[in-house]
Amino acid sequence: MKHYQTASLVGAILVALVGCQNILPTQTSTPKLIINSSDDAQISQQLAKQALASRLSYDIVESLTVEVGPRLAGTEKDIVAVEWAMEKLWLMGFDKVYKESVQVPAWSRGTAYASVVSPYEQPLMVTALGGSIATPVNGIQAPIVRFESLEELTHASPARIEGKIVFIDHKTERHITGKGYGESVGGRSRGAIAAAEKGAVAIVIRSIGTDHDRMAHTGMMRYQEDVPKIPAAAMSNPDADLINAMLKRDPKVVLSLNMTSENQGIATSYNVIAEVTGSSKPDEIVLIGAHLDSWDEGTGAIDDGAGVAIVTTAAKLIQDLPQKPARTIRVVLFAAEEVGIVGAKAYAEQHADELDKHYIAAESDFGAGPVYKIDFNVNPATYEQVKQEHSAMTLFGVEMGNNEASGGPDVSIMPALGVPVASLRQDGTDYFDYHHTPNDTLDKIDPKKLAQSAAAYAQFAYMMAQSEIDLRPLKQKEQQH
């Protein structure tokens, strides 16, 4: 891993004042302890106050959800979103605005109908999981076999499953961290493989969601080369309850399933990028990201219009400072996160030669806030300094957490590439009520909480763009072996 030079804070401010990079003093050794200048702490706090007082973040997510709406990767609306982002960022006056093409898988939801055929005829509310194939034109009719979890399915005898529709009934628990999602989502992403390996003809899961709305939660599922592809759908939580009530009365519950979803090859999308050019270390990057694509049934408000709004607002407030910070703030609106963090992987490839210049990266992709804690994944030797530097953020209710962050879905691939990351933890208590459903709409966003998240990101980005702490090398698995 390459260590880069860091300019001193004094130098950074000096540059900002005199507008000249060539007189910069530099230092090559990592300082043992950095105390921020009172100026930086003051500017950070001022940024937070501005963010809290501003409607900008809400205006951005409103604009995206109203003027674009759903924007599934690889669709026409995805390109509308890219155009929206390019224009919006340009009009906001960032130093640089550009896009980078990404090849993304395209998929069409089509229709999904399911019903119980016996013991009691009832329609069910289902939706196709992202990437699923269709059923045969006349649908599939088969008894279901219920499993508590993907794990139970994994250990089940194929004799129980052959010719049946697998029903994974894993309830998602509510938690501020969203950890319940992590526990149940395997059934969605890997359930079709596990079911098909044992001869199932389809899989229908209980929605990975904490709500009681009669809406199914979509989300990506995967196939595996050597395993037959079977149709995969989710049913709403109330429908899963209904199936359980029927199973209590009769162990043989027969479902009918008809889906017309279709994979449609490869399409072009774009990572959209805006920059606040650093005043003294413009080639060093503080990346704050979100993803521009969304699922197709809501308007992509909490996932991830909110993230787009939060990081864009944070960067815009820094763009408008009279003195730009030392490093470049790079806003990356990733393409095609929902369908497999495709834009992020393309970014890592396309920027492979400057990843060592990424000082730190963070992504907002957990709803509309507020941020209550920051975790980092930085050099363990300097983590305490980072905490100290960011202690000003506690003024705005943001605690310092641990040094075990993944950084958010898109940037989660970066620590393995040596890039330090941070996770600005947003309150996810109700996130999975709406996530990946038609209910992901603007009304679920509280403008004040959103503004608080923008404040936290503005503070984080500014402090990181000014910091003299050396965040590398990471303590990471790849390096430990």
Q: Is 246 in the site for its own copies (CB under 8 A)?
A: yes
Q: Is 444 in the site for its own copies (CB under 8 A)?
A: yes
Return the range that interacts with its own copies (CB under 8 A); candidates 43-51, 122-130, 305-313, 467-475. Answer: 122-130
Our CB check for its own copies shows the closer of 189 and 237 to be: 237
From the centroid of its chain, how far is CA 50?
Answer: 25
Query: How many residues are present in the chain?
Result: 481
Q: Which residues of 336-350 are buried (b: 16+ CB within 10 A; e: fewer)?
A: bbbbbbbbbebbbee
Q: Which of 337, 338, 389, 468 is catalytic?
A: 337
Q: How far is the CB of 117 from its own copies (least distance, A)?
A: 13
Q: How far is the CB of 452 from its own copies (least distance, A)?
A: 21
Alpha-carbon torsion (400, 401, 403, 409), positive or negative = negative
Binding string, 129-168, against its own copies, x = CB under 8 A? ----------------------------------------
Q: Is 238 in the site for its own copies (CB under 8 A)?
A: yes
Radius of gyration of the chain (CA): 24
Amino acid in position 116:
V
The Cα 148–Cα 141 span in angstroms is 22
Q: Is 36 in the site for its own copies (CB under 8 A)?
A: no
Distances (CA, A) of 379 to 30, 202, 382, 472, 479: 12, 46, 6, 5, 12
Given 37, 118, 268, 441, the residue binding its own copies (CB under 8 A): 441
Return the range that interacts with its own copies (CB under 8 A); candidates 25-33, 69-77, 159-167, 363-371. Answer: 69-77
Our CB check for its own copies shows the closer of 440 and 470 to be: 440
Is 225 one of the catalytic residues? no
Distances (CA, A) of 228 to 138, 195, 202, 224, 447: 19, 10, 10, 8, 46
Binding string, 309-328, against its own copies, x = CB under 8 A? --------------------
H/E segment holding residue 38: helix 38-53
Q: Is 66 in the site for its own copies (CB under 8 A)?
A: yes
Our CB check for its own copies shows the closer of 247 and 321 to be: 247
The Cα 481–Cα 463 span in angstroms is 32
Binding region for its own copies (CB under 8 A): 62, 65-70, 77, 120-123, 125, 212-215, 237-238, 241-242, 245-246, 249, 298-299, 437-439, 441-444
Active-site residues: which are they? 337
